[in-house]
Amino acid sequence: MTYCVGIKLDAGLVFLSDSRTNAGLDQISTFRKMMVYEQPGDRFMVMLSAGNLSISQSVREILQVEKVDSSSGAPVTIWNASSMFDAARVLGAAVRRVYEQDGASLQAAGIDFNASMIFGGQIAGEAMRLFLVYSAGNFIEATRETCYFQIGESKYGKPVLDRMITPTTPLHTAAKCALVSMDSTLKSNLSVGLPLDLLEYETDSLKSERIVCIDDRNPYFKMIHTTWGDRLQQVFESIDDPQWEGGSTAYPLHVDNPRFEAMRKITHPGEKIV
Protein backbone atom coordinates (compact mmCIF):
# COMPACT_ATOMS: atom_id res chain seq x y z
CA MET A 1 0.00 0.00 0.00
CA THR A 2 1.03 3.63 0.00
CA TYR A 3 0.02 7.14 1.01
CA CYS A 4 0.37 10.25 -1.14
CA VAL A 5 -1.04 13.75 -0.80
CA GLY A 6 -1.11 16.71 -3.19
CA ILE A 7 -2.16 20.19 -2.02
CA LYS A 8 -3.05 23.20 -4.19
CA LEU A 9 -2.71 26.62 -2.53
CA ASP A 10 -2.65 30.24 -3.64
CA ALA A 11 1.08 30.20 -2.93
CA GLY A 12 1.85 27.01 -4.82
CA LEU A 13 1.71 23.23 -4.63
CA VAL A 14 2.87 20.67 -2.07
CA PHE A 15 3.39 16.99 -2.87
CA LEU A 16 4.32 14.23 -0.43
CA SER A 17 4.62 10.47 -0.97
CA ASP A 18 5.93 7.46 0.88
CA SER A 19 7.89 4.70 -0.83
CA ARG A 20 6.76 1.38 0.66
CA THR A 21 5.20 -1.41 -1.35
CA ASN A 22 4.35 -4.80 0.03
CA ALA A 23 2.92 -8.06 -1.23
CA GLY A 24 2.75 -9.67 2.20
CA LEU A 25 4.38 -9.41 5.60
CA ASP A 26 7.70 -10.75 4.32
CA GLN A 27 7.75 -8.98 0.94
CA ILE A 28 8.37 -5.29 1.64
CA SER A 29 10.18 -3.14 -0.91
CA THR A 30 11.00 0.50 -1.53
CA PHE A 31 9.91 2.22 -4.75
CA ARG A 32 9.50 5.92 -5.42
CA LYS A 33 5.90 7.08 -5.97
CA MET A 34 6.79 10.62 -7.11
CA MET A 35 7.82 11.58 -10.64
CA VAL A 36 8.77 15.12 -11.67
CA TYR A 37 8.45 16.33 -15.28
CA GLU A 38 10.15 19.68 -15.80
CA GLN A 39 11.15 22.08 -18.55
CA PRO A 40 12.35 25.12 -16.57
CA GLY A 41 10.56 28.27 -17.68
CA ASP A 42 7.99 26.33 -19.70
CA ARG A 43 6.30 23.65 -17.58
CA PHE A 44 6.52 21.85 -14.28
CA MET A 45 4.46 18.75 -13.47
CA VAL A 46 4.42 16.14 -10.72
CA MET A 47 2.76 12.74 -10.63
CA LEU A 48 2.15 10.68 -7.49
CA SER A 49 0.95 7.09 -7.88
CA ALA A 50 -0.76 4.47 -5.74
CA GLY A 51 -2.09 0.99 -6.38
CA ASN A 52 -0.60 -1.88 -8.35
CA LEU A 53 3.10 -1.10 -8.84
CA SER A 54 3.39 -2.77 -12.24
CA ILE A 55 0.51 -0.64 -13.55
CA SER A 56 2.00 2.57 -12.14
CA GLN A 57 5.43 1.85 -13.61
CA SER A 58 3.93 1.08 -17.03
CA VAL A 59 1.95 4.33 -16.93
CA ARG A 60 5.12 6.27 -16.09
CA GLU A 61 6.96 4.85 -19.07
CA ILE A 62 4.08 5.44 -21.49
CA LEU A 63 3.20 8.90 -20.19
CA GLN A 64 6.21 10.65 -21.68
CA VAL A 65 5.48 9.43 -25.20
CA GLU A 66 1.69 8.90 -25.12
CA LYS A 67 -0.20 11.11 -27.59
CA VAL A 68 -3.79 12.32 -27.59
CA ASP A 69 -5.38 13.71 -30.74
CA SER A 70 -6.45 17.32 -30.54
CA SER A 71 -8.93 19.32 -32.58
CA SER A 72 -6.04 20.85 -34.51
CA GLY A 73 -4.86 17.43 -35.60
CA ALA A 74 -1.48 17.71 -33.88
CA PRO A 75 -0.84 14.94 -31.32
CA VAL A 76 -0.56 16.15 -27.73
CA THR A 77 1.97 14.87 -25.18
CA ILE A 78 2.76 16.16 -21.71
CA TRP A 79 5.74 17.97 -23.26
CA ASN A 80 3.74 20.01 -25.77
CA ALA A 81 0.33 20.25 -24.08
CA SER A 82 -0.86 23.84 -23.93
CA SER A 83 -2.82 23.28 -20.72
CA MET A 84 -2.66 21.09 -17.64
CA PHE A 85 -6.09 19.77 -18.60
CA ASP A 86 -4.66 18.42 -21.85
CA ALA A 87 -1.68 16.97 -19.96
CA ALA A 88 -4.12 15.22 -17.59
CA ARG A 89 -5.93 13.81 -20.63
CA VAL A 90 -2.62 12.38 -21.82
CA LEU A 91 -2.13 10.72 -18.43
CA GLY A 92 -5.65 9.31 -18.56
CA ALA A 93 -4.95 7.92 -22.03
CA ALA A 94 -1.77 6.26 -20.73
CA VAL A 95 -3.77 4.57 -17.95
CA ARG A 96 -6.34 3.29 -20.47
CA ARG A 97 -3.57 2.04 -22.75
CA VAL A 98 -2.09 -0.05 -19.93
CA TYR A 99 -5.57 -1.41 -19.23
CA GLU A 100 -5.99 -2.39 -22.88
CA GLN A 101 -2.63 -4.16 -22.80
CA ASP A 102 -2.74 -5.84 -19.40
CA GLY A 103 -6.31 -5.62 -18.05
CA ALA A 104 -7.50 -8.99 -19.34
CA SER A 105 -4.38 -10.80 -18.18
CA LEU A 106 -4.61 -9.26 -14.72
CA GLN A 107 -8.27 -10.19 -14.47
CA ALA A 108 -7.50 -13.77 -15.51
CA ALA A 109 -4.95 -13.93 -12.70
CA GLY A 110 -7.49 -12.60 -10.20
CA ILE A 111 -5.82 -9.20 -9.88
CA ASP A 112 -7.83 -5.99 -9.97
CA PHE A 113 -6.74 -3.17 -12.24
CA ASN A 114 -6.02 -0.84 -9.36
CA ALA A 115 -4.15 2.41 -9.88
CA SER A 116 -4.72 6.06 -9.05
CA MET A 117 -2.61 9.17 -9.54
CA ILE A 118 -2.36 12.72 -8.29
CA PHE A 119 -1.16 14.93 -11.13
CA GLY A 120 -0.49 18.63 -10.85
CA GLY A 121 1.69 21.49 -11.94
CA GLN A 122 1.77 24.52 -14.18
CA ILE A 123 2.36 25.34 -17.83
CA ALA A 124 3.54 28.82 -18.82
CA GLY A 125 0.60 31.12 -19.51
CA GLU A 126 -1.80 29.08 -17.39
CA ALA A 127 -2.68 28.89 -13.71
CA MET A 128 -1.61 25.95 -11.54
CA ARG A 129 -3.93 22.96 -11.57
CA LEU A 130 -4.21 19.72 -9.61
CA PHE A 131 -6.02 16.53 -10.67
CA LEU A 132 -6.95 13.16 -9.23
CA VAL A 133 -6.83 10.48 -11.93
CA TYR A 134 -8.76 7.25 -11.45
CA SER A 135 -8.02 3.74 -12.73
CA ALA A 136 -10.46 4.27 -15.62
CA GLY A 137 -8.38 7.22 -16.85
CA ASN A 138 -11.01 9.81 -15.92
CA PHE A 139 -10.17 12.58 -13.48
CA ILE A 140 -11.43 15.40 -11.30
CA GLU A 141 -9.81 18.76 -10.51
CA ALA A 142 -9.08 20.40 -7.18
CA THR A 143 -11.12 23.49 -6.31
CA ARG A 144 -10.91 26.14 -3.60
CA GLU A 145 -13.46 24.12 -1.63
CA THR A 146 -11.48 20.88 -2.07
CA CYS A 147 -7.88 21.96 -2.42
CA TYR A 148 -6.10 18.69 -1.69
CA PHE A 149 -6.20 15.07 -2.86
CA GLN A 150 -5.08 11.86 -1.16
CA ILE A 151 -4.48 8.41 -2.60
CA GLY A 152 -3.69 5.15 -0.87
CA GLU A 153 -4.15 4.87 2.90
CA SER A 154 -5.84 8.23 3.24
CA LYS A 155 -8.03 7.88 6.33
CA TYR A 156 -5.40 8.24 9.04
CA GLY A 157 -3.92 11.48 7.72
CA LYS A 158 -7.15 13.16 6.64
CA PRO A 159 -8.33 14.80 9.92
CA VAL A 160 -5.36 17.16 10.27
CA LEU A 161 -5.64 18.21 6.61
CA ASP A 162 -9.35 18.94 7.00
CA ARG A 163 -8.69 21.11 10.03
CA MET A 164 -5.63 23.01 8.81
CA ILE A 165 -5.53 23.33 5.01
CA THR A 166 -7.23 26.21 3.18
CA PRO A 167 -6.27 27.87 -0.13
CA THR A 168 -4.56 30.68 1.80
CA THR A 169 -2.34 28.38 3.86
CA PRO A 170 1.37 29.26 3.37
CA LEU A 171 3.51 26.71 1.55
CA HIS A 172 5.75 25.87 4.52
CA THR A 173 2.72 25.43 6.79
CA ALA A 174 1.10 23.11 4.26
CA ALA A 175 4.33 21.09 4.01
CA LYS A 176 4.40 20.77 7.80
CA CYS A 177 0.75 19.71 7.79
CA ALA A 178 1.41 17.12 5.08
CA LEU A 179 4.28 15.67 7.15
CA VAL A 180 2.07 15.49 10.25
CA SER A 181 -0.56 13.75 8.10
CA MET A 182 2.07 11.28 6.92
CA ASP A 183 3.37 10.69 10.45
CA SER A 184 -0.17 9.86 11.62
CA THR A 185 -0.46 7.37 8.77
CA LEU A 186 2.93 5.80 9.49
CA LYS A 187 1.90 5.39 13.14
CA SER A 188 -1.33 3.57 12.29
CA ASN A 189 -0.49 1.54 9.18
CA LEU A 190 2.58 -0.61 8.60
CA SER A 191 1.96 -0.73 4.85
CA VAL A 192 3.14 2.90 4.59
CA GLY A 193 6.80 3.59 5.23
CA LEU A 194 9.93 5.69 4.85
CA PRO A 195 11.68 7.15 2.97
CA LEU A 196 9.39 10.01 1.92
CA ASP A 197 9.59 12.42 -1.01
CA LEU A 198 8.50 16.00 -0.32
CA LEU A 199 8.25 18.79 -2.90
CA GLU A 200 7.21 22.44 -2.65
CA TYR A 201 6.41 24.42 -5.80
CA GLU A 202 5.95 28.21 -5.81
CA THR A 203 3.29 29.73 -8.07
CA ASP A 204 4.60 30.80 -11.50
CA SER A 205 8.16 29.63 -10.81
CA LEU A 206 7.93 26.84 -13.44
CA LYS A 207 10.67 24.97 -11.56
CA SER A 208 11.29 23.70 -8.06
CA GLU A 209 14.45 23.44 -6.05
CA ARG A 210 12.62 22.39 -2.90
CA ILE A 211 12.69 18.61 -3.25
CA VAL A 212 13.90 16.40 -0.43
CA CYS A 213 14.05 12.70 0.37
CA ILE A 214 13.29 12.07 4.05
CA ASP A 215 14.51 8.95 5.88
CA ASP A 216 14.51 7.94 9.55
CA ARG A 217 17.61 10.07 10.19
CA ASN A 218 16.05 13.33 9.00
CA PRO A 219 16.15 15.72 11.99
CA TYR A 220 13.03 17.69 11.04
CA PHE A 221 10.84 14.62 10.55
CA LYS A 222 12.16 13.10 13.78
CA MET A 223 11.12 16.34 15.52
CA ILE A 224 7.66 16.19 13.88
CA HIS A 225 7.20 12.58 14.99
CA THR A 226 8.20 13.26 18.60
CA THR A 227 6.54 16.66 19.01
CA TRP A 228 3.22 15.72 17.41
CA GLY A 229 2.84 12.69 19.67
CA ASP A 230 3.80 14.65 22.79
CA ARG A 231 1.53 17.60 22.01
CA LEU A 232 -1.42 15.34 21.25
CA GLN A 233 -0.91 13.72 24.65
CA GLN A 234 -0.75 17.13 26.33
CA VAL A 235 -3.90 18.38 24.60
CA PHE A 236 -5.74 15.17 25.43
CA GLU A 237 -4.80 15.39 29.08
CA SER A 238 -5.87 19.06 29.21
CA ILE A 239 -9.47 18.13 28.33
CA ASP A 240 -11.73 17.55 31.34
CA ASP A 241 -12.69 13.97 32.11
CA PRO A 242 -16.43 13.21 31.84
CA GLN A 243 -18.28 13.98 35.10
CA TRP A 244 -20.98 11.40 35.84
CA GLU A 245 -21.91 12.78 39.24
CA GLY A 246 -22.61 16.36 38.20
CA GLY A 247 -20.66 18.85 40.28
CA SER A 248 -19.36 22.25 39.29
CA THR A 249 -18.04 21.40 35.83
CA ALA A 250 -18.94 23.81 33.03
CA TYR A 251 -19.30 20.87 30.65
CA PRO A 252 -21.57 18.29 32.26
CA LEU A 253 -21.84 14.97 30.44
CA HIS A 254 -25.31 14.05 31.73
CA VAL A 255 -28.05 16.57 31.04
CA ASP A 256 -31.79 16.08 30.99
CA ASN A 257 -33.06 15.67 27.46
CA PRO A 258 -36.77 14.93 26.94
CA ARG A 259 -36.13 13.77 23.37
CA PHE A 260 -33.86 10.86 24.19
CA GLU A 261 -33.49 8.25 26.89
CA ALA A 262 -30.67 5.84 27.51
CA MET A 263 -31.30 2.44 25.91
CA ARG A 264 -31.70 -0.26 28.50
CA LYS A 265 -33.49 -3.54 29.09
CA ILE A 266 -35.54 -3.68 32.29
CA THR A 267 -36.38 -7.17 33.47
CA HIS A 268 -39.09 -8.23 35.87
CA PRO A 269 -39.01 -11.06 38.40
CA GLY A 270 -39.50 -14.39 36.66
CA GLU A 271 -38.94 -12.98 33.17
CA LYS A 272 -36.65 -15.10 31.01
CA ILE A 273 -33.84 -13.18 29.34
CA VAL A 274 -33.15 -14.38 25.79
What confidence tens digit (pLDDT) does each residue in 232-251 have? 999 999 998 888 776 677 88
Give 3's strand partners: 152
pLDDT of residue 52: 94
What are the structural domain ranges in the chain?
A: 3-232
| Residue 63 to residue 52: CA distance in whole angstroms | 16
- pLDDT at residue 208 greater than cutoff 60: yes
pLDDT band (50, 70, 90) for residue 24: low
What fold is seen in the domain 3-232? Glutamine Phosphoribosylpyrophosphate, subunit 1, domain 1 (3.60.20)
Average pLDDT over residues 36-61: 96
DSSP 3-state helix, strand, coil percentages of the chain (rounded to 5)?
30, 25, 45
Q: Is 45 helix (H, G, I), strand (E, B) or coil?
A: strand
Average pLDDT over residues 1-29: 89
pLDDT of residue 73: 65
pLDDT of residue 261: 72
Residue type (1 letter), 234 = Q
The 10s digit of each residue's pLDDT in 128-175 is 999 999 999 999 999 999 999 999 999 999 999 999 999 999 999 999
